[in-house]
Structures are given as C-alpha cells and as structure tokens.
Amino acid sequence: MSELGIGTKCVQGGYHPGNGEPRQIPIVQSTTFQYATGAEMGKLFDLESNGYFYTRLQNPTNDYIAARIAGLEGGTAAMLTSSGQAATFYAIFNIASCGDHVISSSAIYGGSYNLFAVTMKRMGIDFTFISPDCTPEELDAAFRPNTKAVFGETIANPALTVLDIEKFARAAHAHGVPLVIDNTFATPVNCRPFEWGADIVTHSTTKYMDGHGAAVGGCIVDSGKFDWTKYPDKFPGLCTPDESYHGVNYTERFGLGGAYITKATAQLMRDFGSIQSPQNAFLLGLGLESLHVRMKRHCENAQAVAEFLNQHDKISWVQYCGLKQDKYYALGQKYLPNGSCGVVSFGVKGGRDAAERFMGKLKIAAIETHVADARTCCLHPASTTHRQMNDAELAAAGVSPDLIRYSCGLEDAADLIADINQALASC
C-alpha cells in the first residue's frame, strides 16, 4: 500500500490490534511488568532485549501513542513526556550539557525562554537568542565551537512568527549540529518540519494534539536523519559507551533511527522521571483521532476572526500569517500552505488598559493561560505568561505590551466575531 494520508495516520497510526484484541488503544494501568526469571529482566536493564519493566521508563499505551505521533511527523522514533516543558528540556539536555552552547530563536514560548535563559543556564548551558528574521550571516556568526543544537518554533507562541526552517536547518548542518523544532502550534497536520530539514521535533501535546484541554503532555520525535557519528567529539553521549548501561554505545546498538530516543528514555527518563501517565496518553490518543478534522476548523475560524479584526477601527494591528499583508504571509504559504493554527494576535487601540477592558467584556472567549483547544480563550501575555521578561526581551520575543493572544476554538465563527464585536463596542 502507498504511504497513508495524514488523516488515516491520525485515526489509526501506531496501534494495530490483532485478532480479538481491543479496537481502541488499551490503557495499561500498571506500574510494573512481571518476568519468569531475574536473568530475563536483567537483559532489559542492559538494553539487550526489548520489553517493559517499569512505567517510569516505558509503558505500552504511551508507546502506541508515541508511534502514532512519530508516524504523523515522519520520524523513526518518539517518546511521550509528562509535559511540553519536559519534552523541550529532554530534547536539548539529551545532547548538551554543562559547558555547552545552544542557539535559539528569540521568538519562542515564554516557558521555553525561561527554561533556557534561567534554569538551563544554571546547569551551565549557555543560550544565544537570535531573531527568527536574522540573515544567514547573522545566524552563522552565532555559532561557537561548543554549540550543540539550534532551536526554534514553527509558529511562535505567542508572537506568531513563522520560522524559515530551511534557513535554520542549513546553518545548523553547516556547523554539524541538529535543528530542534517545537511544532506545537502547526501540528504535523499543517507542517512536518522533517520535510524541511529539521532533525528533532518537540510538542506540547497539551495544545492541539489533545485539543480538549484535558491532559498536559509532551512528545519528542527523532527524524533519524542526523548522523551523530560524523561528530563523535561533539556528541560523546551518543557515540561512546554509556557506563551507566554497561557500556552500551547508542549509535552502534540502535542505529541513527533509534539512538537519540533510546538514550533519552534510558538516561533522562530513568533519572528525571517525567513520564506521561498512560491515562493521559490514552486521552491524547483520542484527541489525535480528530486532529486533522479539528485543525481545519481552527484555521477557518482564525482566518475569519483575523479578517474581521483587520478591518475594525478599534484594532491597531493584527498578526496572522493567513492575512495577505502579514509579515509572515510568504513564509506561511511556503511552510503552512493548508493553514497555520487557530491563534491570532492583535492589539486594541488604547494599549494595555484597553486590552484588559476588552478581554473583560468577552462572553464566549474565556481568559485562560491555555491556548489551542476546542473552546475559544484569550490571554494578555505581557501581564501573565511573559511577565518575567523586561521590555527589551519582550520586544525580542515579538510580544508587544498590548498584544492579545486569541485562540479560536471550534465554535461557529459568526458567534466568535459577534462576541468580539460587542466587546469592542463597549470598551
């Protein structure tokens, strides 16, 4: 059979029940797995045979869902994590440690910025933040001999900049390091970063993938394409024996397709333990079954809302890459030809105060820290998710003080527009 379409992969990928087995993915609600002999279990601990022994490291429910997401992204291996934050942390920490350096787009999620600029910096990893709109020369100049990865978001939350993935991939590969892309907002339905040269993809599955605001979670997917063995000095963790696993060499034992995720599971999950619960993985699987149907509706609603805001005289600016005059329209057409996401950013005339008054008048859209689920919600990042940033950092992240992030759910576009209209009339 030829390659399956993205919709079929959303509905059926990753789990193929045999005769008489459950049609829906079973929740394996068990912390542990039993074996007849200690010797058999010992082989699992040495990574010599495949199997489950403790849910902190791996669980069948999680693996079905991870395989579904790997299929959607076109990757070779994937793992679920307890949150998007854990996915971002593992994705970088799996290949960078104390004394290393990472380049990141400055337009990223506030939580990722804080993780990099504050917490991982305390672990001795240095980050350089660079504008996603930088020239290839500026990007090139940001590399150091100890640079281990480049990071960016397909569509930045909340700035909604569209990353020129090919530009970032070219620079990363010229310097012998992988490009890690957070693909949360686009989802693999609208963009598959591996097709544009990215090497690792991360997700906050909390957003569109779950899609119902029901379960916090994350995922890391490996393309299997980055050849760590060409740079053994840069990536000793993947190319030399791991003494904590009786000398296993991940690239030798698991190949390029499996080394990165096996190492992240065997070392990082073992030691940090940010596993997604099988129950949440099941909920994520339910969400994935309709991801392709929902993304289309999210995008249609966002396009309608953006066009309405764009012609309203109380709105000072609108950012949505589906609008023809948007700075990222061309990049959107290239990387996201079928739609971008359901999130629109805009400013209300009158700045910060007007923004807060407007949000208070909305009846359908709730004020939430959340984005990207079935129910429309909105947020003022400068006073909430990004409040740890000063004005210069906010500007670099593409977040102006009056920015409202409006996440279109799956309601009727006409109702969302009427709600915005009445709130603007009374603010």
Ligand X SMILES: *Cc1c(COP(=O)(O)O)cnc(C)c1O
What region, left, alpha or beta, does residue 267 occupy, with left being phi > 0 and alpha being psi -120 to 50 degrees?
Answer: alpha
80 binds ligand X (CB under 6 A): no
Give the span between the Cα atoms of 50 and 48, in whole angstroms.
Answer: 7
Is position 85 an interface residue for ligand X (rule: CB under 6 A)? yes
Tell which one of 100, 153, 199, 373 touches ligand X (CB under 6 A).
153
Per the CB < 8 A criterion, the answer to whether 95 and 148 are in contact is: yes
From the list 216, 318, 374, 394, which residue makes contact with ligand X (rule: CB under 6 A)? Answer: 216
Q: What is the DSSP string of 279-334?
A: HHHHHHHHHHTTHHHHHHHHHHHHHHHHHHHHT-TTEEEEE-TTSTTSTTHHHHHH
105 scored as a contact of ligand X (CB under 6 A): no
Distance CA(234)–CA(146), nearest Å, equals 8
Smallest separation, CB 246 to ligand X (Å): 33
- 116 versus 250: smaller Cβ distance to ligand X: 116
Could you tell me the smallest distance in angstroms from the CB atom of residue 26 to ligand X?
24
Asked whether 136 and 167 are in contact (CB, 8 A), the reply is yes
3-state secondary structure 45-69: HCCCCCCCCECCCCCHHHHHHHHHH
Q: How far is the CB of 27 from ligand X (least distance, A)?
A: 20
Q: Which of 106, 190, 206, 267 binds ligand X (CB under 6 A)?
A: 206
Choose between 185 and 194: whose C-beta lies nearer to ligand X: 185
Q: Cβ 396 to ligand X, closest distance in Å?
A: 17
Question: CB of residue 66 vs ligand X: minimum separation in angstroms?
Answer: 15
Q: Does 100 bind ligand X (CB under 6 A)?
A: no
Whether residue 231 contacts residue 202, with contact meaning beta carbons closer than 8 Å, is answered with no
Toward ligand X, which CB reaches closer, 64 or 185?
Answer: 185
Residue 112 as a binder of ligand X (CB under 6 A): the answer is yes
Q: Using CB under 6 A, which of the segments 36-44, 51-59, 77-85, 97-105 binds ligand X?
A: 77-85
State how far the alpha carbon of 169 is from the alpha carbons of 116, 194, 300, in Å: 20, 10, 30
269 lines the binding site for ligand X (CB under 6 A): no
Gap between the Cα atoms of 286 and 209, Å rounded: 9
Looking at the Cβ atoms of 111 and 350, the one nearer to ligand X is 111
**Is residue 345 at the binding interface for ligand X, with CB under 6 A as the rule?**
no
Q: Which stretch binds ligand X (CB under 6 A): 90-98, 179-187, 321-329, 358-366?
A: 179-187
Q: Which residues contact ligand X by CB under 6 A?
A: 83-85, 88, 109, 111-112, 153, 157, 182, 184-185, 204, 206-207, 216, 218
